[in-house]
Amino acid sequence: MTLRLDRVSVSSVLLTICLLSLVPADLKFAATWKTRLVVVTDRFARLNYESSIAFASLALVIIGLIVIWTSYQKRMRWSWIVMVVFVCMYFVPVHLLDVFIGIRQLGGAWWPSAVRAAAQGEPLSRVAIRLLATLALMVLALLLPVGAFFGKKRSSSAGYGQSLAN
């Protein structure tokens, strides 16, 4: 078995790592499926939507991994578009929307305070920084092989076309 080390392969590995990094949190929330009601106060309870969202997130991550491991490796254009849609329409709104709202509210002062709070061990700041790093890695992984998906196709069957012309 030979391992190709090209831009698409590196991108596939990076995207796989990013998607797999989402699984532990989703599994944690999916494990709460037996708890149907979440008590908010002594007078108010709401349905446990976190478990349903976690199962849906796990399904989307599995679909993303299947796309990466099958069609993305074969450089099919639609698979690159699917991964862009995954990042823009799933990952950013579901995982980063609250972070972006917080950044907008606090402005430029957000980053130093988030880094300081993460260094002190505040879980929300640590998760926010980890998710922003994951987004940066996903964007890099998607931009890295753009030429392989949308550049000129290399013709490996040039000899075949010439033999038909004769």
- Amino acid letter at 28? K
Alpha carbon distance 69, 80 (integer Å): 12
Residues 100-109: pLDDT tens digits? 888 888 777 7
Contacts of 125 (CB under 8 A, 6+ apart): 114, 115, 117, 118
**Domain spans, the chain:** 7-148
Instruction: From residue 64, give the alpha-carbon distance in Å to each of 19, 47, 70, 149.
Output: 8, 28, 10, 17
Alpha carbon distance 138, 86 (integer Å): 10
Alpha carbon distance 71, 91 (integer Å): 20
Question: What percent of the chain lies above the pLDDT cut of 70?
Answer: 84
| H-state helical runs in 34-76 | 49-67
- Amino acid letter at 149? F
pLDDT at 113 over 70: yes
Residue 36, pLDDT score? 75
pLDDT at 159 over 50: no
Alpha carbon distance 9, 153 (integer Å): 17
Please report where in the chains the tokens 């199962």 appear, as a residue.
55
Q: For 17-21, 41-45, 123-127, 159-163, which range has the lowest pLDDT when averaged over its residues?
A: 159-163
pLDDT at 7 over 70: yes
- Rounded mean pLDDT of 109-113? 79
Rounded-to-10 torsion of CA 59, 63, 65, 67: 180
Q: For the beta carbon of residue 47, count every other beta carbon within 10 angstroms.
A: 11
Alpha carbon distance 39, 45 (integer Å): 4
Tell me the backbone φ, ψ of residue 38, rounded to 5 degrees.
-110, 120
